[in-house]
Structure 1
Amino acid sequence: MVRRALSLPVAALLGLSACAAPPPPVVAPVAPSIVARPVSRVVTPPPDEVPVPSAESEALRIYYRRLQNDLLAQGLLRGDGGGPDTPFTDTMLARDFIRIALYDEYVSDGDMLRAEATESKLRRWDQPVRMSVEFGASVPAAQRDRDRTSVTAYAARLSRISGLPIRMTDSNPNYHVLFLSEDDRAGYEARLRELVPGIGGSSLRAIMNLPRDQLCIVIAFSEGGSSSYAKAIAVIRAEHPDLLTTSCIHEELSQGLGLANDSPQARPSIFNDDEEFGLLTNHDELLLKMLYDKRFTTGMTAAEAAPIARQIATELVGGNS
């Protein structure tokens, strides 16, 4: 199964004033002023002629076009949000919330990452999100315009659903959405280090060595050992055809808000590796509403969050268990 997203929440951004190292992946100490310091943004203007893609990048473009066609032929990547064929109850919604918002999909194994669902804590943003879009040199102007428009519209939708302030800006952004081809990404390490000074080796490798079956990736960073996000980077392959690009935008931007895990039981949902749904569903909108409900506290354990999740789910769906 081709995975649409790789979510790596709670890589920590550690200031010099921190007393102890946070959970892995470990980030080297950095100056405590880095979060407040504006990140200089390298604006890459659309070239008059985009660089000729490498054979590897062109092969990926062909592969992902065929993949999208194959998934559509199987009735997957649905964009209808769910319907009569995908009913869910309040009990199911509460269960899905705990599994998706209170578990991590990957753990750090030394300086590498290993797939293993692990109980975590409730992670989310406790500050406004300032989102920016950045493109590699290989991305043509028309594609940039289309992708920027898609991100802007979707960010506004996420803000309406969650109640979290999210705005598009190039002034000191804290959520970076990068559209990069294979060729672009190969030369992007220095830029990633600029966006997140002190970024850990496992996080950097996850982006730089993205395997073919990972269509996109998001990594959210906290400060010290906090569960509150301070920065995020989403990387979406520029080789994708339109629907896979939109699918990555939908999943990455929402996972980067705190819905970090996937669950095979979640339906209708993009937080499920079966690829049935490609766009945010009605079920997923409710998960976002729940995540930013003020009755939750950032850093709650699954045991602490579970009764609150059941109460909110009943209010949203009704008590039809």
Structure 2
Amino acid sequence: MKNHLLPICLLLVGCMPGAMPDQASRAAQPAAMSTLPPLKSFARPTPARPGRSNADIARDFLELAFRLESGRDLPVLTRFEEPISIRVTGAAPPTLLPDLSKLVYRLNTEARLKVTLTSSPDANITVQAVSRAQIRKALPHAACFVVPNITDISQYRAARRSSKANWGLLRKRNKMAVFVPNDAAPQEVRDCLHEELAQAIGPLNDLYRLPDSVFNDDNIHTVLTGFDMLILRAYYAPELQNGMTRRQVAARLPAILARLNPAGEAIPARRPLPTPRSYIRAIQTALGPGSSYTQRRAAAREALNVSQALGFQDHRRAFAHYAMGRLLAASDPEAALGHFQAADRFYAASNHTSLHRAYVASQLAAHALSQGDANGTLAIVNRAIPVASRNENAALLATLMMLRAEALTLSGRASEASTVRLDSLGWARYGFGADWAVRAKMREIGALNPLKG
């Protein structure tokens, strides 16, 4: 289940946390109705190969495959018998099928799975496009979700009261339903496809300790990474079978990973500490829906306290600082800046967190722009823009480009600024959706420019 965490690249310094309107109306507009440049999309993925040891990846695999996000253990491995067929039902937005086709191609070429698209009602996986209101009615805190043994969202309530939707009782996978929003921005729909199909096909758990994966509830990575493709490929290795226990899989996993990822054999294991439920709950409260501002701040402080007490020096410590910075941005900008700078320092210590730093860069650049520091803003965003593009994050890319345009304006390079701003709009349409949302983002960033504010 993809959780409703506050979109971490949408709110900049000076904006009230959680003050953005309901995203349900951020759906993309038909081209004929839009007055902005054509919507852009990423042509070719460039995922990096996993750069961690096979010993650590084996541990990650076992925790992903044999545990639910709730922390409940699963007794056996379950998967589909290939080939896997996928169909689309409901009122699908125009970007859904192209993005799904790209994902299916990647699953075939990178994860080496046999996945096909079909219109048959007998498909293994049904992707149903429904409204966000329907999704919230079923699961209030979910942006999208996957359920076994049903094909339509109307069947969910009854299935939930029975054993049909109980993952712990599965012994193999036959049918799955993935529910995605049809009235959200194209990027959100695509992100849901990546995360929910990955869980429909493979592991069900998320781990906050993973720096390079969509199997992480921090929502930093939103398209399947090289690590994720390796996990899915190992999940369907011929050495594994439905019904195998954790111990049986653990015995075969080292040889599987040595065959699929020989470079990982030479990398020393790091064995990062597990993430306690107290940290997970704190982050979900700090950035999720349904809590007051005071409760969010207390939760972010709790996440920081937990990470400090456990001696975390990785992206989890950084993310706690980032969450605190986000929540302090309106009431105490200088304290917020300190937390963003701390987050950047922790992220900078790892080779696996360049995308994380790009998110923080949007906050640091916004602050530099608001202080009239055009050169500092440009230095920050110029490093982050290629990272956002390489990771196919149009919302972040558009935000950084708009910041760059304002910094160019501030430095007297008006013609160059106009070109960058115009180029950002196609990415913004994919990342934010409707014209009003794109224009709101432009106004928000423009207001940071001292020449306009």
Q: How does 1:158-169 map to 2 (within 5 A)?
A: 158-169=107-118
- Structure 2 residue identity aligned to 1:168: L
Residue 175 of structure 1: aligned partner: 125
- Structure 2 residue identity aligned to 1:167: T
Give the TM-score of the pair, scaled to structure 1.
0.60
Residue 78 of structure 2: aligned partner: 123
> Does residue 293 of the first structure (1) align with residue 237 of the second (2)?
yes
User: In 1, are the aligned partners of 2:26 and 2:184 still within 8 Å (CA)?
Assistant: no
User: In 2, are the aligned partners of 1:128 and 1:166 still within 8 Å (CA)?
Assistant: yes
Q: 2:145 aligns with which of 217, 225, 247?
A: 217
Q: 1:134 aligns with which of 67, 89, 94?
A: 89
1:127-161 Cα offsets, whole Å, 9 max, x none, are 4222111123xx5xxx33x2111112212321333
Q: What SS is found at the alignment partner of 1:239?
A: coil
Query: Aligned pairs, how many?
Result: 216
**Identity within the alignment, %:** 23
> Does residue 255 of the first structure (1) align with residue 184 of the second (2)?
no
Q: What SS is found at the alignment partner of 2:176?
A: strand
User: In 2, are the aligned partners of 1:216 and 1:237 still within 8 Å (CA)?
Assistant: yes
Distance 1:80 1:263, change over 3 A: farther
User: In 2, are the aligned partners of 1:4 and 1:273 still within 8 Å (CA)?
Assistant: no
1:14-40 Cα offsets, whole Å, 9 max, x none, are xxxxxxxxxxxxxxxxxxxxxxxxxxx
Distance 2:251 2:27 in 1: 42
1:73-94 Cα offsets, whole Å, 9 max, x none, are xxxxxx86457xx831111111
Residue 61 of structure 1: aligned partner: 24
How many angstroms does 1:309 deviate by?
A: 1.5
How many angstroms does 1:313 deviate by?
A: 2.1
* Structure in which a larger fraction of residues adopt strand: 1
Residue 174 of structure 2: aligned partner: 230
User: In 2, are the aligned partners of 1:258 and 1:291 still within 8 Å (CA)?
Assistant: yes
User: In 1, are the aligned partners of 2:79 and 2:172 still within 8 Å (CA)?
Assistant: yes
- Structure 1 residue identity aligned to 2:52: F
Q: What SS is found at the alignment partner of 2:72?
A: strand
Q: What SS is found at the alignment partner of 1:173?
A: coil
User: In 2, are the aligned partners of 1:250 and 1:280 still within 8 Å (CA)?
Assistant: yes
Distance 1:292 1:62 in 2: 39
User: In 2, are the aligned partners of 1:100 and 1:261 still within 8 Å (CA)?
Assistant: yes
How many angstroms does 1:311 deviate by?
A: 2.2
Q: 1:244 aligns with which of 176, 179, 188?
A: 188
- Structure 1 residue identity aligned to 2:3: R
> Does residue 302 of the first structure (1) align with residue 246 of the second (2)?
yes
Q: How does 1:1-321 map to 2 (within 5 A)?
A: 3=3, 59-62=22-25, 81-82=47-48, 87-105=51-69, 115-136=70-91, 143-144=93-94, 146-171=95-120, 172-182=122-132, 185=134, 208-211=137-140, 213-221=141-149, 227-315=171-259, 316=261, 317-319=263-265, 320-321=267-268
Distance 2:118 2:244 in 1: 31
- List alignment gaps of at least 5 residues for structure 1: 6-57, 66-78, 106-114, 187-206
Give the TM-score of the pair, scaled to structure 2.
0.43
1:239-280 Cα offsets, whole Å, 9 max, x none, are 321222211111111110021111122231000111121110
* Structure in which a larger fraction of residues adopt helix: 2
Distance 1:104 1:174 in 2: 21
Distance 1:4 1:294, change over 3 A: farther
User: In 2, are the aligned partners of 1:4 and 1:248 still within 8 Å (CA)?
Assistant: no
Distance 1:98 1:217 in 2: 22
- Structure 2 residue identity aligned to 1:301: T
Of stretches 227-236 and 242-251 in structure 1, the one that deviates more from structure 2 is 242-251
Q: What SS is found at the alignment partner of 1:215?
A: strand
How many angstroms does 1:209 deviate by?
A: 1.7
Q: Which has the higher contact order (CA 8 A, sep 6+)?
A: 1
User: In 2, are the aligned partners of 1:132 and 1:177 still within 8 Å (CA)?
Assistant: yes
The higher radius of gyration belongs to 2
